[in-house]
Amino acid sequence: MVPKFGSFKSKEPEVAPAEAPANPAEKEKISRRHEGENDDRRRERKRERERDSHRERGHHRHREREGERSPPATKTSSRDGLLQGKSSSKDTPPQDKTSGNDVFFIDKRGDPLIIRYGTNERGRVPTYHRFGAGKVMGSKFYLTIHRDGPNEQFTLRGPHQNGGSAFRDRHALLTAAGLQANPKRIKPSTDPIDPLTGPEDFIALESSRKRKRDSEGESRPDYRSIYGKKSPPDSDSDYDSESSTSSTPPAPETTTTKTTSIALSSRVRGHPTDIPAWLDLISLQDTLFRENHHNASPRHHHHLTPEEAQALAALKLSLYEEALPHATARADRERLRAGIMREGARVWDPLTLARRWDEAMAADGGESFVLWRARLDYEMGRGATFTFEGVRGFMTEKLRGLGARLREVCEKEGAEVAEVCGQTVYVFLRLTRFLRDAGYVELAVAAWQAVLEMGFERPEGQGDDGEAALEGFADFWESEVPRIGEDGAKGWRHFDEAAGAMEDAPEAKENPIVDVPRTGDAFKAWLAVEQGVTSRSRMPARTMDEGTEDDPFRVVMVSDIKDFLVWFPTSVLPWVRPQLVDAFLLFCGLPTAGLTGGLVDSAQHDPFVAPRSETFEFDVEDESPETSLEQGKKTPEFKQQGGNMALSGDLLFSGTTWFRYLDKWSNVYSPSADQVDVSWVLGTLKHLVRTSRVEELAEYYLAMEWLNEPKGARKVAKGLLKQYSTSLRLYNAYALIEWANQNGGVSEKVLSSATSQSLSSAYTDSQLLWNTWTWIHLESGQKHMALARLCSSVDGKFEDLVVSPALLLKARSHFSSTRDYALSSQQLELAIHYAESQALFEYLAAEGGTEPASATQGNITAALESIRAFTNELISANRAQSIHHERLLQTAARLLYHHATHGSYRPVYLRTELHTLTTHVPRNTLFLTLLAWAEQATFLLNDPVRTALQTTALATSHDCLGTRRFAILYEARAGTVHAARAAFEAALESDACRGSIEVWVAYLRFCTLGKGRRELGAKVGREVFYRAVAACPWSREIYLEGMKGLGGEEFRGVGGLMGVRGVRVRVDLEGFLDGWEGSRG
């Protein structure tokens, strides 16, 4: 009996080689015949392969394909044919190496459906078997496939990197899951085994009848669905476990954009007075256009051409105009008219636009603040007709009108007073930022000194008569005694009380001499001198100071700022003071302290007054290429991001291990920037906290001192604690400072002292201290100590390291019940503290959990489930949009980051939870940054971070300067120069960034420095400069930045343009150039 294997086949008689043809014609005929036979065999093999892939998809089986399809005689003839064809190869033209191989083919266009569905078409993936444990040819790293439902996500790991951390592979997790898999047993077949008959070259393990039944039955899903009724087995899976697919959260069923559009269209037809539905339909047009273009082209990151943008604007304009007649409420009419003017600016010619603005401002009596604000943005961006005096007059006129209205409503109470106060402070902020950006820093600083003196240091007995009060203030100002923020300042009140004992004015200051740089370029020399003079003249001068006679703007008199000042009646000061503090911080380029909400707080997202960010200071020079493994080891970008996150103590005093709400002044602003003096900022904050007793600002002021004057931070903290001895937030801040300074012992002493003082009160904010203490232990790797410390907040006498089951039950009940009680009693901040305690407790104490956990990790699923449950309660109570809820979500993000950096974890789970956080607060760049960090090791055609940006964070309702900053930085780090440029262009096309000086300057530097200049060329930088001058014609910073790349008459022309528009020039350009030529001649 001879087994049916190819190695035991009997030898067939050798076939004598055929004689070569005698003449070339016969030779060519035989060659064509063999080529035809080879083509037939190739087509037959292709049909057989397609039938095999449908019959045996998902199974790895070694086949002898040629043995199945042709008898031995065919093989011999095939060999002979190949030999014959080989002799004719000289007469045939050379072909592509892949042209005769039906396994490979060339596709230059790609399949756009891969991007839409996120995976390859499985029917077109040939059956394969992985070899070499996933090692990539030509690489020293290994390719590991992580399955996320039907998708395959790839990460790279280095050799010998087993074990779990955030920066290594998940091999240990896969092994552990494989060990828990349910065993599968092969049941013996009950069918009789067929005899070995037939011409096959293999021994079948199943009968042909069984194979036929399987191929016709349930072995493959129906072609009309993706996977049929249940998911197919993973052919590449390294393990088999029930939890491998169930642990991945199912994708929610989302309504398509077109379906939503149809529903909204039906809604507005049936209920035309539903203005929110109209606005939703209009905002949906951007997404509809993007999706339609995405379906038509594989370029999924398309930016609108000017023609497309105009067509889209015309469509939205028609919808706005169709909805306007149906608006009955004043607020709805304001929003619709503002939308009409915004879209009309892209469609109408300049004359029509100006006429329509006049008509819109006259509607509703001309009192619409929303339209006035939009008109201000329009006037500031009119490069062709812009003048400094015109825009300043437009704002001062509005400020006078608001001052008069404030005197009318000051005796009232409620929302109207708060609204007028917020509008007044906002206009004053816009005016002073406009002055500062145009180069009149001394004038803007003097206006803020005056308003803060009148708002916080008002003498007793001053009534509501603004004219009379201004006369008394003029005496204080003209005396030139130190003013708020300056050394030795005591305030207007102290000056009024000590009228008989006048203080001496500050000593006269010398005029600093700026050295002319040694260069042969007169234009570069002028730029250096101009910026040097600016950096030495940031504060208003006194009349006795040297050099003031050459510059009339150096000394600021009361008459210079009289038109900018507003006298707030005494009755409205409780509403005004917190708004003035936050507006002052925005004027200085800092994020707000969160003392108030409303218009001033939302100004953080206003491109004209938004705080600066450290993230734009990225290096555009060439960087060494990084492997994906090195990228995976990077920490997130913890830089200060312009305040696009909820303010909390852990962000103010985080050091380098977590995100920073603030940063050192020199890290954000260069010495030559047109910015206020940091010493004046610190002095003003100190005066407001120590002299004016604004306790809510003390924590913010302490953070600024610690970042900019770290050696004196301990002294400042002790002084503040002496003045505000009951402020637990200051104790918490002091403990965090010592912890960040690596003084763990001092930090614990501060917390121990503070918690012992607050144990007598059951419902205070002392839980903040216990949470901080727990975090300190947790980040130190002391998991059991962290749990014990957290339970100590429930039982003050507990000092053991082992927590009893009874105390665990008591703690869990205490945290949840106190949290719910605080929420029901409208104490939202207290409820958030206990919700954080509940989440920490579940992470440290809960058993089980579906995610992996090492000795230093906890139960992350239980912790996040606790936060998710309380989030649902906040949504039910209509509190989901509060700043306190955002702080709680940041706690969830911090727990996720801690879990991922202290042991093994599932990347899919981390990314899913971070995606959820971004949907809750799309503008929070903390969540976006962590998402980018979690996704940086994946290789997907459709980048998940870009998808989250386009669908959520950059949607019309959430679009803001902070998210645009993040998108630009992400493309600069992860993409190419052209991708970063496209991100800049998309940002500047949006209303959220068009008026941002910061974005324009960053774009200009990107195009004119380093790699950007080399790849884009100098012409692009020059074009960007002139576009920036047209969009922000008041910005002195843009002019000076762009002039660095100019010379000759073009340089002189830009300098003359600054003078025509009213932008300040401190050193006369023509005089300097004449003197330069004279000295050289």
pLDDT in tens, 424-456: 999 999 999 999 999 999 999 999 999 999 999
Q: Which of 980, 974, 1033 is nearest to 1002 (CA)?
A: 980
Q: Which pLDDT does position 291 carry in this prediction?
A: 73
Size of the chain in residues:
1081
Which of 82-86, 731-735, 797-801: highest mean pLDDT?
Answer: 731-735
Q: Which pLDDT does position 130 carry in this prediction?
A: 65
Q: Is residue 1031 part of a domain?
A: no
Q: Is residue 859 part of a domain?
A: no
Q: Which pLDDT does position 294 carry in this prediction?
A: 53
Q: Is residue 738 part of a domain?
A: no
Assign 822 a pLDDT band (cuts: 50, 70, 90). very high
User: Which of 20-29, 508-517, 797-806, 1068-1077 shows the lowest mean pLDDT across its residues?
Assistant: 20-29
142-148 and 151-157 strand pairing: antiparallel
More confident residue, 332 or 944: 332
User: Which of 958-967, 994-1003, 1027-1036, 1068-1077 shows the lowest mean pLDDT across its residues?
Assistant: 1068-1077
In this structure, what token pair is assigned to residue 454? 């009148």
pLDDT (tens digit per residue) in 720-762:
999 999 999 999 999 999 999 999 999 999 999 999 876 545 4
Q: Which of 174, 309, 467, 134 is nearest to 994 (CA)?
A: 309
Q: From CA 789, how far away is CA 774, in angstroms rounded?
A: 6
Q: Which DSSP string corresponds to 79-148?
A: HHHHHHHHHTTTTSPP--TTTT-TT----SS--HHHHHHSS--GGGS------STTBPTT-SSEEEEEEE
Assign 609 a pLDDT band (cuts: 50, 70, 90). very high
386 Cβ neighbours under 8 A, 6+ residues apart: 379, 380, 1033, 1034, 1061
Whether pLDDT at 964 is above 90: yes
Give the Å distances, CA to CA, from 258 to 268, 304, 308.
Answer: 15, 20, 19
Q: From CA 419, how far away is CA 65, in angstroms rounded?
A: 80
Q: How many structural domains are present in the chain?
A: 1
* C-alpha radius of gyration, the chain, whole number: 36
Q: From CA 423, how far away is CA 538, in angstroms rounded?
A: 28
pTM of the model: 0.79
What percentage of residues in the chain have a pLDDT greater than 90?
Answer: 50
Q: Which of 176, 155, 232, 135 is nearest to 908 (CA)?
A: 155
More confident residue, 942 or 235: 942
Assign 702 a pLDDT band (cuts: 50, 70, 90). very high
Q: Which pLDDT does position 1080 carry in this prediction?
A: 64
Q: Which pLDDT does position 974 carry in this prediction?
A: 79
More confident residue, 61 or 654: 654
Mean pLDDT computed over every residue of the chain: 79
What percentage of residues in the chain have a pLDDT greater than 70?
Answer: 73
Q: From CA 1005, how far away is CA 1021, in angstroms rounded?
A: 8
Whether pLDDT at 61 is above 70: no
Whether pLDDT at 835 is above 50: yes
Amino acid at 944: P
Assign 132 a pLDDT band (cuts: 50, 70, 90). low
**835 alpha carbon, distance to own chain's centre:** 26
Q: Is residue 1049 part of a domain?
A: no
Bridge-partner residues for 148, per DSSP? 151
Q: Which pLDDT does position 797 carry in this prediction?
A: 72
User: 37 lies in which domain range?
Assistant: 18-106
Q: Which pLDDT does position 137 carry in this prediction?
A: 65
Residue 439 near residue 1055 (C-beta atoms within 8 A): no
3-state secondary structure of 283: helix
Q: From CA 943, how far away is CA 809, in angstroms rounded?
A: 44
Assign 288 a pLDDT band (cuts: 50, 70, 90). confident
Residue 1064 near residue 1036 (C-beta atoms within 8 A): yes
Burial 658-683 (b: 16+ CB within 10 A, else e): bbbbbbbbeebbeeebbbbbbbbbbb
Whether pLDDT at 526 is above 90: yes
Amino acid at 666: S
Q: Which pLDDT does position 941 carry in this prediction?
A: 58
Whether pLDDT at 236 is above 90: no
214 Cβ neighbours under 8 A, 6+ residues apart: 206
Q: From CA 28, how far away is CA 91, in angstroms rounded?
A: 9
DSSP 8-state assignment for residue 625:
-
Q: From CA 324, how far away is CA 368, in angstroms rounded?
A: 15
Q: From CA 285, how far away is CA 316, in angstroms rounded?
A: 7
Average pLDDT over residues 397-418: 87
Q: Is residue 60 part of a domain?
A: yes
Q: From CA 1036, how far away is CA 438, in angstroms rounded?
A: 5
pLDDT (tens digit per residue) in 631-667:
445 788 888 888 889 999 999 999 888 999 999 998 8
pLDDT (tens digit per residue) in 480-507:
999 999 999 999 999 988 875 656 667 7
More confident residue, 22 or 528: 528
Bridge-partner residues for 143, per DSSP? 156
In this structure, what token pair is assigned to residue 157? 């790991």
Q: Which pLDDT does position 685 carry in this prediction?
A: 98
Q: Which pLDDT does position 639 carry in this prediction?
A: 85
Q: How many CA atoms lie within 13 A of 543 on its CB side?
A: 7
Average pLDDT over residues 338-349: 93
User: Which of 141-145, 339-343, 358-362, 803-807 shows the lowest mean pLDDT across its residues?
Assistant: 141-145
Q: Is residue 1005 part of a domain?
A: no
In this structure, what token pair is assigned to residue 126? 């040939």
Which residue stretches of 877-948 are H helix?
Answer: 883-900, 907-920, 925-935, 944-948
Q: Which of 703, 766, 690, 688 is nearest to 734 (CA)?
A: 703
485 Cβ neighbours under 8 A, 6+ residues apart: 449, 680, 681, 683, 684, 687
Q: From CA 516, how far away is CA 1075, in angstroms rounded?
A: 12
In this structure, what token pair is assigned to residue 869? 């449950």
Q: From CA 667, how far away is CA 615, in angstroms rounded?
A: 10
In this structure, what token pair is assigned to residue 181? 């898999």
Angle subtended at Cα 413 by Cα 411 and Cα 415, rounded to the nearest 5 degrees = 130
Q: Which DSSP string corresponds to 555-615?
A: B--HHHHGGG-----GGGHHHHHHHHHHHHHHHTT----SS--HHHHHGGG-TTTPPP-GG
3-state secondary structure of 278: helix
Q: Is residue 31 part of a domain?
A: yes
User: Which of 210-214, 562-566, 667-671, 929-933 shows the lowest mean pLDDT across its residues?
Assistant: 210-214
Q: Is residue 612 part of a domain?
A: no
Q: What are phi and psi of 69, to 5 degrees?
A: -100, -15
Largest Cα–Cα separation, the chain: 131
Q: From CA 700, how far away is CA 511, in angstroms rounded?
A: 34
pLDDT (tens digit per residue) in 243-287:
333 333 334 434 577 888 899 999 999 999 999 999 999 988 888
More confident residue, 577 or 497: 577
